[in-house]
Amino acid sequence: MVRIAIIGCGYWGPNLLRNLWTIPDCEVRTACDSKPERLEHMARLYAGIRTTTDVGDVIDDPEIDAVVVATPVHSHFGIAKNLIKAGKHTFVEKPLAASTAEAAELVRLSEEQNVVLMVGHTFVYSPPVRRMKELIDSGTIGEVLYISSRRLNLGLFQTDINVAWDLGPHDISIILYLLGSEPCTVSCQGVDHFNTGIEDVTTMSLVFPRGEFVSIQNSWLDPRKIREMTIVGTEKMIVYDDTEPIEKVRIYDKHVCVPPHYDTYAEFHFSYHYGDIAIPYIQMVEPLKVEAQHFLDCISGGTTCMSSGREGLRVVEILERTTESLRADGALISLNAGVSREEEVRV
């Protein structure tokens, strides 16, 4: 039995608490939040749960084995660092920290203390995303040429991070998982319409070592909620729409045909292959529940963490480079990446 506490019961924390509460091999003992009214609400929903407004109560409690941190990004490092030093397995909502230096320090400490450090990259636990990974790895769509991702909605405006840091981690973590490598370069442009220095609309571009081009658009200023990703391969194309209730993944048997040889420009003509659209059946399970169970499995041992601290570090490094690009009017920024994810990241 893993005894768990959760710090942060505002927007996302209650969703994590709800899923952990239903898992038989864990006990959610304590909920912590700075607002007493939120704790009162949690106490009404979950009979017997302890509540506190003091993070120190969680850190110092010897009966708590693991902690979920769902607080604002600027507080992630300080809270997680103290939890890890106290020997507690720690789950941190995305992004892992506010800088590469902070994320690297958390990774170092967790390995030194031999505790699990996991990041809330929820979509790598999503059945549709896992099916897309299978399609890419099996060669079904051929070589990936480019990926276009749009994650847009009206709000929720954040005060400590821009929209790329808020919504972008979802897209970046999915793409790193699908491609199995890290980008070589990143560039980003955006606009801060309401809060100076906090962009509410951004577009970032990533280039990967095999030539894959990725475009990610994030916005808090769109009239519709859009969660869509298009993956274009040399043989087939995939459209993933997470707002669809059932048919989330569609496989289009379409591609561009390049003539194998030609003697003159007049003979050079692209042709286009049009085939059927396939909609695979995908058994849907709430990704948060899979993610919560995976955290417990990692604590129990024998399971490799899919969204470990090192994965969180990779995402934070990309986000930090997007900020550099934003401040340099969209300049192309190199990353010390471009390697397979199986290789170790030095921290």
| pLDDT over 80 (residue 11) | yes
CB-based contact 19:289 (threshold 8 Å):
yes
Write out pLDDT tens, residues 121-150. 999 999 999 999 999 999 999 999 999 999
The H or E element containing residue 321 is helix 309-327
How large is the average pLDDT for residues 200-218? Answer: 97
Nearest to 5 by CA among 55, 50, 87, 67: 67
* Overall average pLDDT of the 168-197 stretch: 97
pLDDT band at 273; cut points 50, 70, 90 = confident
- Give the start-to-end residue ranges of the domains of the chain: 2-123, 125-287+315-334
* Res 344: pLDDT: 42
Does pLDDT of 265 surpass 80? no
| C-alpha to C-alpha distance for 6 and 17, rounded to whole angstroms | 7
Residue 37: both structure tokens together: 């009214």
56 Cβ contact partners less than 8 Å away, ≥ 6 residues apart:
none
Q: How far is CA 283 from the centre of its chain?
A: 21
Contact (CB, 8 A) for 236 and 141: yes
The CATH fold assigned to 2-123 is Rossmann fold (3.40.50)
* Average confidence score pLDDT of the chain: 93
SS3 of 183-236? CCEEEEEEECCCECCECCEEEEEEECCCCCEEEEEEECEEEEEEEEEEEEECCC
Query: Which secondary structure element, helix H or strand E, spans residue 238, and what is its range?
Result: strand 237-241
CATH number of the 125-287+315-334 domain: 3.30.360.10
Q: How far apart are CA 202 and CA 277, in angstroms?
A: 32
pLDDT at 256: 86
